[in-house]
Amino acid sequence: MGRVQSVAVVIPAKDEAQRIAATVRAAGELPGVDLVVVVDDGSSDRTGELAAAAGATVVRHPVPHGKAGAMETGGELVRVLEARDGATAPRALLFLDADLEASAAAAGPLVPPVLAGAADMTIAVLPPQRRAGGGHGLVVRLARDGIRAATGWEATQPLSGQRCLTREAFEAALPLAPGFGVETGLTVDLLRRGLRVREVEVDLHHRVTGTDLRAQLHRARQWRDVARALAARRVVPRRARG
Over residues 134-154, the pLDDT tens digits come to 555 899 999 999 999 999 999
Average pLDDT over residues 204-230: 79
pLDDT on residue 237: 82
∠ at Cα 20 (17, 26), nearest 5°? 155
Give the start-to-end residue ranges of the domains of the chain: 7-241
Q: What is the pTM of this model?
A: 0.91
Asked if the peptide bond before residue 178 counts as cis, ω within 30 degrees of 0, the response is no
Over residues 147-176, the pLDDT tens digits come to 999 999 999 999 999 999 999 999 999 999
Other Cβ atoms less than 10 A from the Cβ of 47: the count is 27
Average pLDDT over residues 210-219: 67
Collapse the DSSP code of 37 into the 3-class scheme (helix H, G, I; strand E, B; otherwise coil) and give the result.
strand
Q: How confident is the model at residue 2 (pLDDT cuts 50, 70, 90)?
A: very low
Compute the mean pLDDT over every residue in the chain, rounded to the nearest whole number. Answer: 91
- Name the CATH code of domain 7-241 (choices 1.10.8.350, 3.90.550.10, 3.90.1580.10, 3.40.50.300): 3.90.550.10
Over residues 90-141, the pLDDT tens digits come to 999 999 999 999 999 999 999 999 999 999 999 999 998 766 555 558 999 9
Average pLDDT over residues 31-48: 97
Q: Which distant-in-sequence residues (6+ apart) come within 8 Å of 108 by Cβ?
A: 30, 31, 202
Alpha carbon 49 to its chain centroid, in Å, reads 22
Q: How confident is the model at residue 44 (pLDDT cuts 50, 70, 90)?
A: very high
pLDDT for 3 beyond 60? no
pLDDT for 1 beyond 50? no
pLDDT on residue 219: 81
